[in-house]
């Protein structure tokens, strides 16, 4: 499902409180639910590599 | 942006040592801009452009944002600041990447290394060879069996992913997954089957259309976001997309979004009228 296919929902959500609190150290990490990769990688979910170490980074270019 | 080459360095430094880097491009920039960036910076790690996080657990309100998930599946680090120490502490716990919990005996070291390098066919050959030795200990036999099972599990997971993707018309994912099987199970029947499936996808006009449509809608999405398009433009663009790709599953997929946007526009117009009275 498109991130922006939920545009209307996102507009409704703007300014809303956290549904759950953001993840903190010690929390169980939920899997990442990706619907579109720039190029599809070999591993597409965290569950495929559990037991190893995952570094997740969110970034931009401004 | 100096972190980008650093991520490449981490990827190279810890290749085959149990580190998996995933990234998310969390700004509303067009796909072409992101692709140019990836090319210019030589980015080699996975990059997600669209994801679901309805509960907003992954806090991306400030970028860059980093999380380290440890070998126990828990968050070992989050936030800003230096994370390399935590990374190294976690990686020190990974003796055999991908084989957490398997008691690898010396006879299975080479099989374990092959598994870490994702040469699954070789890992299986080496595990079977170690198990066939007449003097193999119980521990060696157990380790060989465990590695063989991991290889089988990996293959099963990949095949399942590829086949489900085909059924769901997610052809980019299907194609990429068959490519992984072809690469990681080289010189086996599995690789041959994967090659055959890839050829079929190449010849399948519907699959090619679906891949084109999937990319087109995500490019469109980001373009509209980037230019902060008015809702009328969103609706018009989505409708044009649905018409162009009416033979694709994506035409149906965007319908709920169009309907929702039209409802919201109607509600906003009515509010405006009321306010003007």
Check B68 against A54: CB less than 8 A apart.
yes
Q: Using a CB-CB distance cutoff of 8 angstroms, which residues of chain A are in contact with residue B162?
A: none
What was the ipTM of the complex prediction? Answer: 0.90
The minimal CB distance from B101 to the residues A20, A51, A59 is found for A51
Give the model's confidence band at B3: pLDDT under 50 very low, under 70 low, under 90 confident, else very high: low
Residues B186-214: what's their mean pLDDT? 97
Q: Using a CB-CB distance cutoff of 8 angstroms, which residues of chain A are in contact with residue B263?
A: 8
| Residue B204 CB contacts under 8 Å (≥ 6 apart), including other chains | B171
Check A57 against B24: CB less than 8 A apart.
yes
* pLDDT given at position A2: 44
Give the model's confidence band at B277: pLDDT under 50 very low, under 70 low, under 90 confident, else very high: confident
* pLDDT given at position A5: 46
Q: Where are the domains of chain A?
A: 31-61
Check A53 against B18: CB less than 8 A apart.
yes
* pLDDT given at position A12: 35
The predicted-structure confidence for B127-154, as pLDDT tens digits, reads as follows 999 999 999 999 999 999 999 999 999 9
A16 pLDDT above the threshold of 80: no
The predicted-structure confidence for B226-270, as pLDDT tens digits, reads as follows 999 999 999 999 999 999 999 999 999 999 999 999 999 999 999
The minimal CB distance from B221 to the residues A2, A21, A40 is found for A2
Give the model's confidence band at A15: pLDDT under 50 very low, under 70 low, under 90 confident, else very high: very low
The predicted-structure confidence for B35-62, as pLDDT tens digits, reads as follows 999 999 999 999 999 999 888 899 999 9
Check B50 against A3: CB less than 8 A apart.
yes
Please, which residues 12-51 of chain A have a Cβ atom closer than 8 Å to chain B? 18-30, 32-44, 46, 48-51
Chain B residue with the nearest C-alpha to that of A58? B24
Residues A28-45: what's their mean pLDDT? 94
* pLDDT given at position B16: 87
What is the average pLDDT score of chain A?
77
What is the average pLDDT score of chain B?
94
């Amino acid at each position: 499902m498109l991130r922006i296919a939920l545009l209307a929902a996102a507009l409704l959500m703007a300014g809303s409180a956290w549904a759950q609190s953001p993840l903190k150290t010690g929390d169980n990490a939920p899997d990442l639910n990706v619907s579109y990769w720039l190029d599809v990688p070999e591993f597409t979910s965290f569950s495929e590599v559990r037991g190893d170490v995952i570094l997740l980074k969110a970034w931009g270019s401004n | 942006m100096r972190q980008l080459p650093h991520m490449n360095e981490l990827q190279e430094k810890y290749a085959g040592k149990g580190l998996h880097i995933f990234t998310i491009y969390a700004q509303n920039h067009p796909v072409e801009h992101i692709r140019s960036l990836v090319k210019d910076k030589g980015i080699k790690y996975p990059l997600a452009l669209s994801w679901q996080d309805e509960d907003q657990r992954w806090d991306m309100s400030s970028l860059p944002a980093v999380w380290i998930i440890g070998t126990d599946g828990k968050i070992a680090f989050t936030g800003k600041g230096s994370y390399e120490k935590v990374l190294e502490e976690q990686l020190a716990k990974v003796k055999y990447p991908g084989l957490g919990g398997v008691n690898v005996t010396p006879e299975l070291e080479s099989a374990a290394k092959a598994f870490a390098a994702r040469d699954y066919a070789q890992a299986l050959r080496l595990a079977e060879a170690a198990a066939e030795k007449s003097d193999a200990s119980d521990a060696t036999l157990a380790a060989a069996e465990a590695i063989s099972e991991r290889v089988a599990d990996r293959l099963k997971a990949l095949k399942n992913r590829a086949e489900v993707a085909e059924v769901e018309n997610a052809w980019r994912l299907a194609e990429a997954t068959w490519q992984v099987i072809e690469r990681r199970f080289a010189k086996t029947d599995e690789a041959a089957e994967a090659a055959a499936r890839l050829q079929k996808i190449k010849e399948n006009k519907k699959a090619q259309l679906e891949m084109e449509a999937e990319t087109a809608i995500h490019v469109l999405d980001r373009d509209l976001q980037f230019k902060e398009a008015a809702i009328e433009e969103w609706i018009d663009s989505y409708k044009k997309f649905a018409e162009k790709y009416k033979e694709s599953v994506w035409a149906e997929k965007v319908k709920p979004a169009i309907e929702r946007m039209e409802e919201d526009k109607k509600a906003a117009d009515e509010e405006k009228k009321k306010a003007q009275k």
